[in-house]
Every structure is written in structure tokens, then in C-alpha cells.
Structure 1
């Protein structure tokens, strides 16, 4: 009859600091970079379609592509902050806070990237036909970008808790 092995209890692990708690922080960092980059890629691709179709008339309107790229930087900043905070023993509540921070910046960055892409595509086409719409395009792009900035602010707030 085989002998059962006795389970050893890790003397360093406690109920508040289990070994798996850092997993949530890592998932927050992954969520931050993946979702925000996905939104930035969509925003770049969608607005580049409008820019490419109107580049003959107005080749200088690359603002939507630049604004979509900034969304990815928000996710990168939060991802680096989260992975820099990892230690050997990690409290569970800190792991969940960092998961929330990553999801906040990631999902808001994805939404902002989608908004920048749709507005950039239609706005560049409209501004190429009517130059007076250029200022309106910039304002709508700024408001779309602010959606990602809100997520960054919430993520930094959660990270510092």
C-alpha cells in the first residue's frame, strides 16, 4: 500500500499573502498592454483608411494616427508600473487592485481607440471636402483621447492604494 505524502505548509505564505496573489497583478499588466494596444491598432488602421483615401487632397492630416498611438503608451506605462511592483510575497488585495488598474486602462484605451478610429476615418474624409471642419475634427479627437486618459487616471489611483 503506497504511503501518502504529508503536505508541507509553506512558512512564508499566509492567508493574506498566498502564492498565487501575484498572478492577479500580472493579469492586470497583461490586460493593460493588450487591450490598450488593441484599441490603438484599431484606431490606427481605421483612421489610416480615411487618411489614405484623402491623401491626394490633404496629405497633412495624420493627427488621428498620432492620437491612437498615444493610447498604447497609456497601457505601456501602467503595465510597467504594475510589473515593477511585484515582490515575492504579495497581498491579495493589492493583486486585485492592480488587476482593476490594468483593466481600467486597458478597456478604456480600447474604447478610446475605437472612437478615435471611427471619428478619424469620417473626420478626415469630411475635412478634406470642407476644410472648416478641421477644428471640429480635432476637438472630437481630443474628446475621444480623453476616454483613455480617464482610464489612466483611475489606474494610477488604484495603483497607489
Structure 2
């Protein structure tokens, strides 16, 4: 096998597609999780606002925490897109795909969790205000799921170009 054929195996023309898919997965899945968390908890916020309008702003914490998940996806997408080039090693592209999927799917799961906890927590804390602190703690636990994904994705992205030689063509 000659050197050109070996480079074609290591740096195929379609490699950048996988990096672009990682970029897309990062933002799409985290935004889907954030939108679900916001929509699910916002229904409870407004229906509970009828009973206790004085607690409306306090209960918006759920929707705010859900939106933080989309920032995680945005950060990862910006990092991946900054490293996308036409000719890239397949190793780098697969790690970019993995990083995008890691943050995206963790953000999706965290968004679902925040939505369910926010819905139940806002309704419960409206009837019994002492439950608010418990709801906030559980929301933090749900948010950390998305933070785990962004940490793993950043670790994968920092390792994606280490020890990888550039494509010669």
C-alpha cells in the first residue's frame, strides 16, 4: 500500500461530515432538552401564578435553569466548528461527533429532568412554600447532568488533535 492510499484511509474526504454532525448534535439536542424543560415547567409556573402571583418570579428558576443547557450545547458547537476543516483525520472527526453527542444527549436528559421536576416542584411549592428549597436542590442535581456532558465533551475535544498528524493533501 502506498503512502497516498494510507492517507486516504486516515483522512477521507467525508471525515469533516462527522465533525459537522457532532456540531449539529450538540446544539440540536441541548436546545430540545432546554425547550422541553422550559415548556413543561412554564405551564406549572403560570397555573400556579393564578393561586400565588407573588411567587411567580421566584418560580421562574426552573425555566432559567433549563435555558442554561442550551448554552452548554452552544459552547461545544462553537469549539467544534472552530476546528472543522475540509481535510481532517477521521480520528478527530469521530471525537468531535462523540463530543457533540455527549453534551447533546446529556443536555436532552437534563432538560427532561428539569421539566418534570419543575412542573411538580412549582405546583408543590406554591401550596407549601417550605418545599421550595428542596425543589431547588433537585433542580441543581438535574442541571449537573448537563454539566457532566459538557465536561466530557471538552475533554474529548482537547484530546481530538493530540498525536494526530495533519492530512498531507
TM-score when normalising by structure 2: 0.87
1:45 aligned onto 2:39 = yes
Q: Deviations over 1:114-149 (max 9, x none)?
A: 000000000000000001101000000000000000
User: 1:3 — aligned with what?
Assistant: none
Please state how far the C-alpha of 1:55 moved relative to its aligned partner.
1.0
Find runs of 4+ consecutive structure 1 residues off by over 3 angstroms.
none
**Within-5 A mapping of 1:2-151:** 14-56=8-50, 57=52, 58-60=55-57, 61-151=59-149
Q: What is the rounded CA distance, in whole Å, between the counterparts of 2:42 and 2:117 in structure 1? A: 11
Q: State the superposition RMSD in angstroms.
A: 1.3
Q: 2:164 matched to which residue of 1?
A: none
Counterpart CA distance in 2 for 1:28 and 1:50 is 34
Q: Distance in 2 between matches of 1:99 and 1:86?
A: 11
> Mean alpha-carbon deviation: is it higher for 13-22 or for 92-101?
13-22
Q: 3-state DSSP class of the match of 2:133?
A: helix
Give the unaligned 5+ runs of structure 2: 160-169
- Provide the C-alpha distance between the structure 1 equivalents of 2:9 and 2:115, rounded to a whole number of angstroms: 46
- Equivalent residue of 1:47, what SS? helix
Q: Which has the higher helix share?
A: 2
TM normalised by structure 1 equals: 0.91
Task: Give ranges in structure 1 of 5+ residues lacking alignment.
Answer: 1-9
Q: Deviations over 1:3-58 (max 9, x none)?
A: xxxxxxx99x6321111001000000000000000000000000001001011302
